[in-house]
Amino acid sequence: MKRREFVGTCSLGIGALSISPLLSSIANSSDTELVEKSALNTKIRVKFVFNGVIHEDAWEGSCRTGDLSKLTYEAEKRNLDNRYNKFQKELKTLNFPPEVELLKPVKTYLWVEKGNPYIMYEEKHLAKLKADDPKTDVYVITNSAGLPNVAGFKIAERYHKPVILVNTPGWGVDMPAAIRSKGLEGYYVQNWEQLNVLLHLMFVRKAIHNTKILNVTNFPNERSSVKSSIIDMDFVKERYGIGNHFVDYKKFFSEMDIIEKDKNLNEKAAHIADKLMKNALKNNMTKEDVINSLQFYQTTKRLLKKYSCNAFTIDCFELCSSLNTWTRRFTPCLTHALLKDIGFPSACEGDINALLAIMVLEYLSKKAVYMGNPDINTKENTLTVHHSVASLKMNGIHQSETPYEMHTFTRSGFGVTLRHDFRNNQGREMTIARFNPQATKILITKGEIIDGGIDG
């Protein structure tokens, strides 16, 4: 990956390919049920407010000119109604992102009386928003002819929700500046395309807030092998809304003992193993060992459901020394890959920094994210990222699977890893991201894929 400047001391890197339903070839009913819990199913609910100005009578002055016959109360009201009807029709033709859910729009207006210098946004108009406010994520104000900055400011003050103004003229920046001065959220966009970008970012933020991590470790709130890892999960909850549930090895593997003895689940694991092996371009694993890794996946899914979680991480070095991977002949690699393919962020080594970055990248791109270790070559100006958790949906969660090989992680023949040949993506852009240990900042950089392989 070429990059003019890349300086960092992090031990792990995350890459999301911008090479650009769920696991259709290996899906089973439990995956279908689980995918509904993915934060990718989050909806951002938008309330449009079409605002205007109506004067009590016709007059001209310092900011009002025109044919007096068109400035009467009756004429302005008729004009506002006509424009609102036209807007409602236009709204139905707009192509919003699939995560956007439109609430019923409303029409409001500012009221101006003769001889009264106070421009009023009456209580009856603010009250129109009350019924839908509990399910509203963001208000969008439209109609540049109606002093929308005044209405937007009043709405933000009343309901403390983000307010976006869609307004072509540049004076629209007045509204968010005023709203932000009150410590509230306000934004200004000039067209529908910019609005869609902003709404998608708000979706990502809400999806992150709707994420809860299943965190498997015997060392909660301690830094283990990844010394830069985030450990203050209470702060993560407070700052981003991300939940966390710790499960120790004893509880996890007691559940896996039950899974391993369940004949029905074993049959499902065997069915998925057959499909994985059949679809692989190359495979050096036995079916028995593929099933072993899938039983770990089944255990993870069961506990995700039990604790209402939709993201996952587990220790690696510590898990290895516990001998569970050795005696049960599995590694977590396949589980991380398959979870990301159904929209569940999943990270190795209990690395919360990486997991948060995966959330951001997966929710932004709706693609399975590749996690790996970085090697930096300053002489050649390249960054090499390698690991064992390539997924099948790196082109997109709802896209076709990418070609893969299936290799053992260990020389003893166990531990399923899916291998993606990144040489197929030469010339494409890759985004790399990682959070700092305080969980307050994210490093994001990008580069071009110049080479690759399948050896991890």
Closest by Cα among 394, 413, 436 to 23: 394
Q: What is the pLDDT of residues 34-43, one digit of tens each?
A: 778 999 999 9
Whether the Cβ atoms of residue 388 and residue 414 lie closer than 8 Å to each other: no
Q: Would you list the domain boundaries of the chain?
A: 13-42+210-448, 44-202
Q: What is the pLDDT of residues 126-185, one digit of tens each?
A: 999 999 999 999 999 998 677 889 999 999 999 999 999 998 888 889 999 999 999 999
Q: What is the pLDDT of residues 181-226, one digit of tens each?
A: 999 999 999 999 999 999 999 999 999 999 999 999 999 988 878 8
pLDDT for residue 93:
95
pTM, entire model = 0.90
Residue 399 reports pLDDT greater than 60: yes
Cα 324 to Cα 286: distance, rounded to the nearest angstrom: 19
Whether the Cβ atoms of residue 405 and residue 396 lie closer than 8 Å to each other: no
pLDDT for residue 199:
98
**DSSP string over 131-183:** TTGGG-SEEEEE-GGG-HHHHHHHHHHHH---EEEE-SSGGGGHHHHHHHHTT
Cα 222 to Cα 328: distance, rounded to the nearest angstrom: 26
Whether the Cβ atoms of residue 434 and residue 455 lie closer than 8 Å to each other: no
- Supply 179's token pair: 């709203």
- Which run of H or E residues covers position 444? strand 442-448
Residue 442 reports pLDDT greater than 90: yes
How many residues in total does the chain contain? 456
pLDDT for residue 145:
74
At 271, the amino acid letter reads: H
CATH 3.40.50 fits 44-202, yes or no: yes
pLDDT for residue 17:
37
Residue 8 reports pLDDT greater than 80: no
Q: What is the pLDDT of residues 322-338, one digit of tens each?
A: 999 999 999 999 999 99
CB atoms within 10 A of CB 91: 15
Mean pLDDT of the chain: 91
Q: Coil, strand, or helix at residue 326?
A: helix
What distances in angstroms separate CA 271 from CA 26, 278, 284, 414, one per listed residue?
Answer: 8, 11, 18, 18
Cβ-based neighbours of 5, under 8 Å, separated by 6 or more:
none
- Supply 374's token pair: 């970085």
Cα first-last separation, the chain: 16
